[in-house]
């Protein structure tokens, strides 16, 4: 009996729905007729329990789907806020770690030319080669005591000198820049010359060395520190890679490879020194 009642109930429901649709359609075409108004009211009364039941059944599903989308949106916003907060908290720690790393790298120098000369550690924040000038930019400036003309060193040796400075930044002209000239002294033979930059990737060229001077490949050269020189004496500059004496020439041709890796600078030290204050 139950099986026979179920198809009959479905048929009755379908019939009522069809009647409701029919009355609604006809009512739109003859909305002024009171007969259709009564029929439309009757259809609504019949269909209303079914609409309420369907709405009640689907309401929890709709709430769940809406809640799921809202949860994902809120979770994404919370994750973004957590990342921003973590970045803000990590910035001072990262800056302190970089400063400590710079000090550790530069502390490996243990060179006598730093004795008694105050200095400040700095990090290279930009590398430029504008207008054929070999320069780097440091994250230290006047507020740290940096001034134009001060020597700049790496763990390897002389890097260059400060050519311009602002409150918190400084530009360093490297020793391989064509405008750079460094007074040098051969550690072994004690002869003195002037090392001039030849551009990125090229050895320095040492001038003012007379033919017959005892300069050999492998010799180390340091800053001469003579009067009016922009660097204190004894800073390592480079290693002699080639020595030649062209026929009829009065001076040697000497190539000097910088000890500092000028193409891969990260941390440096600025000597707070000037010839006037030495």
Q: Give the closest residue to 237 by CA, choosing from 164, 161, 175.
A: 175
Distance between CA atoms of residues 115 and 112, nearest Å: 5
Summarised one tens digit per residue, pLDDT across range 146-175 is 999 999 998 888 999 999 999 999 999 999
**What HEC string does 86-118 produce?**
HHHHHHHHHHHHHHHHHHHHHCCCCCHHHCCCC
- Give the length of the chain: 278
Summarised one tens digit per residue, pLDDT across range 87-133 is 665 555 555 555 555 454 445 444 555 667 899 999 999 887 555 57
Residue 158: count other Cβ atoms within 10 Å of its Cβ. Answer: 28
Cβ–Cβ under 8 Å, residues 26 and 36: yes
Q: Give the closest residue to 260 by CA, choosing from 278, 226, 237.
A: 237
Q: What is the pTM of this model?
A: 0.61
Residue 54 pLDDT exceeds 50:
no
Distance between CA atoms of residues 138 and 268, nearest Å: 9
What is the model's pLDDT at position 116? 78
Distance between CA atoms of residues 221 and 186, nearest Å: 5
For CA atoms 96, 102, 108, 110, the dihedral sign is negative
Q: Give the closest residue to 187 by CA, choosing from 235, 231, 117.
A: 235
- On average, the pLDDT of the chain sits at 75
């Amino acid at each position: 009996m139950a099986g026979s009642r179920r198809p009959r109930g479905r048929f009755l429901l379908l019939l009522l729905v069809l009647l409701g649709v029919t009355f609604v359609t006809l009512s739109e075409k003859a909305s002024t007729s009171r007969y259709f108004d009564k029929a439309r009211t009757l259809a609504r009364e019949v269909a209303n329990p079914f609409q309420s039941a369907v709405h009640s059944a689907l309401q929890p599903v709709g709430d769940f789907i809406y809640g799921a989308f809202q949860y994902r949106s809120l979770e994404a916003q919370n994750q973004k806020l957590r990342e921003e907060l973590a970045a803000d908290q990590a910035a001072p720690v990262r800056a302190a770690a970089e400063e400590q790393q710079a000090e550790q790298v530069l502390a490996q120098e243990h060179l006598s030319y730093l004795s008694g000369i105050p200095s400040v550690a700095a990090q290279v924040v930009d590398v430029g080669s504008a207008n054929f000038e070999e320069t780097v930019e440091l994250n230290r400036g006047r507020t740290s005591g940096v001034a134009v003309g001060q020597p700049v060193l790496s763990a390897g040796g002389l890097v260059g000198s400060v050519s311009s400075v602002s409150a918190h930044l400084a530009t360093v002209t490297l020793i391989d820049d064509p405008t750079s000239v460094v007074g040098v002294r051969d550690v072994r033979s004690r002869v003195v010359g002037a090392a001039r930059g030849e551009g990125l990737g090229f050895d320095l060229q040492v001038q003012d060395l007379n033919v017959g001077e005892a300069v050999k490949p492998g010799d180390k050269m340091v800053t001469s520190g003579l009067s009016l020189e922009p660097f204190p004496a004894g800073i390592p500059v480079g290693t002699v890679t080639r020595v030649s004496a062209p026929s009829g020439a009065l001076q040697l041709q000497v190539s000097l490879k910088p000890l500092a890796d000028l193409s891969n600078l990260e941390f440096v030290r600025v000597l707070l020194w000037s010839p006037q204050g030495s």
